[in-house]
Amino acid sequence: MRVLVVGGGGREHAIAWACERHGHTVSIAAELGDVTVDDVDLVIPGPESALVAGIADECSFRKIPCFGPTSKQSRIESSKGYSRQLATSLGVPGPVYQRFEEGDVDAALAWWAEFGRPVVVKLDGLAAGKGVLVPGDDEQTDAAIRSTAPLGPFVLEERLTGPECSLLALCDGTTAVALPLAQDHKRIGEGDTGPNTGGMGAYAPAPLAVDPDELLTVFVQPILDYYASSGSPYVGVLYAGLMLTADGPRLIEYNCRFGDPETQAVLPLLDSDLAELAIACTQGRIADVHLEVRPGATCTVVAAAPGYPDAPSTGAAIRLRGFSTTEWANHSSLEPDAILFPAGVADGKTAGGRVLAVTGLGDDLAAARAAAYRGIDGVSFANMQIRRDIGWRAPGAFLTSYAAAGVDIDEGGRAVERMSG
Ligand code: AMP
Ligand code: GLY
């Protein structure tokens, strides 16, 4: 097949890689452009912005198969208020919430006072993972409401606690299959501290005592049934961000697309052909295709530019030990057990907040982590930011690999304490 992947980040390079390894001809482009059904057999959009702007609707108009939901359906990601309302009306378990109009500080403060428990503050609209504030105390909550309210409509939600995981479901309009569960690290700092980012690393499969198929039944199937019965079946990835609370799994958010960097961690675990799976989804026959997952684990470490996430500075030369900059610009293996996915890279220089990611593969998470850090240690640019602790939430997997990654064992021990705390 001739596959067009729309976007340009690490996620899109991982999608391209997953299609190319099965012999498909793949191009990556920032936009759909003027391609026709004579040029491509399948379009896979990466970013939510393209989906919200209607790339699937445009493909449908041009009769090009597209693995992604319509603009209208993408509201499930682009409006947190809509998404919560839909989930609640379908009985999907999630936090107590309330939506407020832009500037409505008084109503929000009153609702919070009445609610009487910790809340998180979220912008209703798209904010590239940066529109969520998780205040630590009352003073911070007050400030979060006051700083978010002027920016647009917003949502207050009950603050949940527990490990998080990302469920990525491939949907064909009526049926969904789950990719291996992943966990990502959204905060910039080690130990999951500091501001939220687009994601600093991920690993898969998440070693959690949950059954992905049960999660599909609770969090994905109701949405598919809803869209199917409204006459517009949902085709593409439905990503459910979940928190495993003491009371059971709860919905944190829906995304209408592959996650970044979860995709860089999850797709290397697939033995199946992603393009075949995607085209089957566009034809309503995912149930006919077997999803083959290889044993073992992956770990993805993101290298971000200095200043990320607030104000990344770009233009630094990227050095890659053992490779020339032209060789690696088009996703290539660094080592047999590590894959490099470029993201914010142009002409061998940094050109975005998240610059690249390296995914390590191994028989278990410890081996995958070691491979990922060996790979990323071959990459350097001025003031590169990486987290040395990707995977620390996975019990038992990291103590040995901590040492391999150059983090002292005390830090590993503190991570254990934090984990049990
Ligand atoms: P979101 O963009 O909605 O996925 O939120 C980004 C991050 O904020 C999530 O991955 C969580 O770590 C945190 N978060 C969001 N909603 C909640 C919530 N209701 N309770 C606790 N943490 C949350
Ligand atoms: N890694 C989180 C996201 O893609 O939204």
Q: Is the CB of 8 under 6 A from ligand 1?
A: no
Q: Whose CA is nearest to atom 11 of ligand 1?
A: 252
pLDDT of residue 95: 96
Which pLDDT belongs to residue 81? 87
What is the structure's pLDDT at 86? 97
Torsion of CA 325, 326, 331, 332, to 10 degrees: -80
Q: Compute, in angstroms, the gap from residue 199 CA to the centroid of ligand 2.
A: 6
Residue 241: CB within 6 Å of ligand 1? yes
Query: If DSSP states are collapsed to H, E and C, what string results for the chain?
Result: CEEEEECCCHHHHHHHHHHHCCCCEEEEECCCCCCCCCCCCEEEECCHHHHHCCHHHHHHHHCCCECCCCCCCCHHHHCHHHHHHHHHHCCCCCCCEEEECCCCHHHHHHHHHHHCCCEEEEECCCCCCCCEECCCCHHHHHHHHHHHHHHCCEEEEECCCCCEEEEEEEEEECCEEECCCEEEEEEEECCCEEEEEEEEEEEECCCCCCCHHHHHHHHHHHHHHHHHHCCCCEEEEEEEEEEEECCEEEEEEEECCCCCCHHHHHHHHECCCHHHHHHHHHCCCHHHCCCCECCCEEEEEEEECCCCCCCCCCCCECEECCCCHHHHCCCEEEECCEEEEECCEECCEECCCEEEEEEEEECCHHHHHHHHHHHHCCEECCCCECCCCCCCCCCCCCHHHHHHCCCCHHHHHHHHHHHHC
The pLDDT, as a whole number, for residue 226 is 98
Question: Cα(58) to centroid of ligand 2, in Å?
Answer: 25
User: What's the gap in Å between 132 CA and the centre of ligand 1?
Assistant: 7
* C-beta of 84 in contact with ligand 1 (< 6 A): no
Residue 129: its pLDDT value, please? 59
Q: Whose CA is nearest to atom 5 of ligand 1?
A: 132
Q: Considering only CA atoms, which residue is closest to atom 16 of ligand 1?
A: 252
Peptide bond into 261 cis (omega under 30): yes
Nearest atom, ligand 2, residue 199 CA:
1
Q: Is 192 in the pocket of ligand 1 (CB under 6 A)?
A: no
Q: 157: CA distance to ligand 1 center in Å?
A: 9
Which pLDDT score, from 0 to 100, does residue 333 have?
Answer: 59
- The model's pTM is 0.91
User: What pLDDT tens digit does each residue of the chain (421 aa) get?
Assistant: 999 999 999 999 999 999 999 999 999 999 999 999 999 999 999 999 999 999 999 999 999 999 999 999 999 999 988 999 999 999 999 999 999 999 999 999 999 999 999 999 999 887 765 678 999 999 999 999 999 999 999 999 999 999 999 999 999 999 999 999 999 998 999 988 888 888 999 999 998 889 999 999 999 999 999 999 999 999 999 999 999 999 999 999 999 999 999 999 999 999 999 999 999 999 999 999 999 999 999 999 999 999 999 999 999 999 988 555 545 545 555 567 899 999 999 988 999 999 999 999 999 999 999 999 999 999 999 999 999 999 887 765 444 444 445 544 444 444 444 443 3
The reply to whether ligand 1 has any atom less than 6 angstroms from the CB of 339 is no
For residue 324, how far is its CA from the centre of ligand 2 (angstroms)? 30
C-alpha–C-alpha distance, residues 300 and 244, integer Å: 22
Name the nearest CA neighbour of 78 among 133, 6, 128. 128
Ligand 2 touching residue 196 (CB < 6 A) = no
How far is the C-alpha of 321 from the C-alpha of 380, rounded, in Å? 8
Give the integer Cα–Cα distance in Å for 359 and 340.
7
The preferred substitution site among 80, 133, 134 for testing ligand 1, maximizing ligand atoms within 8 Å of CB, is 134
Does the Cβ of 184 fall within 6 Å of ligand 2?
yes
